[in-house]
Structure 1
Amino acid sequence: MSVPPVSGHRVAAAAEGDVVVFLIGMRINRWRAVRHWLPAVVGMLRMLKELSQDGESGLLGHRGLGGGGSRVHSIVQYWESSEKLLAYASDQGGQHRPAWAAFNRRVRGSEGAVGIWHETYVVPAGSYESIYIDMPPAGLGEAWGVEPVSRRGERAAQRLESGAGRRR
């Protein structure tokens, strides 16, 4: 496996406008109830593949999150807009609707074998800040790309106060 190149000494995400962050995860409550939680994992992988192959979907990037032990599995997603996220969630022809319906059918008799959650955040322009030093782009920088930090003398709080999270 090759190591991704570092993006430069000091860069920031090149995000413009509002940023939509979608967190989604599941918790396996009963390991032996594989028939309840494995389809949720497979469904999420199918959705991410579908979204990644559709340049118009609005998904800019995603990354698995560690933590929570082996029972908890989470993904952070960056979206172009909340409208595109909601359009995907309600698209009758996409992977999400049938996966959601199947999940709901399976969990009715599962006695809490698996739990799922999601949170959506629409972060206004100028209300986010990022910096990456000597590492490959990650998170917001991976989703939107990176650019050199222009105000090297400022601290994060000063960049946020001045609205430097906006890159136009």
Structure 2
Amino acid sequence: MSNQPIPGRMTAESQDGVTVFLIGMRINSFRAVRSWWPTFTAMPRMLRELSKEEDSGLLGYQMLLGGPRLTYVVQYWESTEKLLAYASQPDKEHRPAWAAFNRRMREGKGKVGFWHETYVVPAGSYESVYVNMPAFGLGAATGVVPVGRRGDRAADRLKPAV
């Protein structure tokens, strides 16, 4: 993915439904490195694994910092079914990381926090615009097209594809 701005107004190419998964951790005690470091390093391993597997269902992601204590990832998935399938596969990175995280949570007594949210977004229920930006967010996950192809106004882009 290029980090160069794309001139003009672009929108995400995808017009299909999408599942948006937000997941993050909060460091409640910086000194408790053994509580939060394994959690911090587990997510990149999972994202590498998912990115290598062509049919994983992960369309793309963005890793973000929410201040000095909070780190999170915005993930775009083809479907909720593929997200849940990955989470429950015993031979993938997620299951052992989740089990280890739960052990550390019990032992760490609140030194690290964890959260996630899942949003199922039907086709026609989202729109996007990127002005003089590199591909970002959903646009990075699905590709971008000039805004005019999907409608010049946000209201036009929010209509379901025909």
TM-score of the superposition, structure 1-length normalised?
0.89
Distance 2:157 2:53 in 1: 34
Q: Deviations over 1:26-50 (max 9, x none)?
A: 0000111110100001111111111
Distance 2:14 2:133 in 1: 18
The equivalent residue for 1:45 is 44
Distance 1:106 1:57 in 2: 28
Distance 2:113 2:151 in 1: 45
Structure 1 gap segments, 5+ residues each: none
Q: Does 1:119 align with 2:113?
A: no
Change (3 A) 1:73 1:30: same
Distance 1:124 1:98 in 2: 32
The equivalent residue for 1:74 is 72
The equivalent residue for 1:28 is 27
Change (3 A) 1:132 1:54: same
The equivalent residue for 1:86 is 84
The equivalent residue for 1:97 is 95
Identity %: 60
The Cα of 1:157 is off from its aligned counterpart by 3.2
**Kept in 1: contact 2:11–2:128 (CA 8 A):** yes
Q: Which protein has the bigger strand share?
A: 2
Distance 2:150 2:104 in 1: 53
The equivalent residue for 1:132 is 130
Structure 2 gap segments, 5+ residues each: none
Distance 2:21 2:9 in 1: 26
Q: Does 1:150 align with 2:155?
A: no
The Cα of 1:65 is off from its aligned counterpart by 2.1
The equivalent residue for 2:105 is 107
Post-superposition, which runs of at least 4 consecutive aligned residues in structure 1 deviate over 6 A?
none
SS state at 2:31 partner: coil
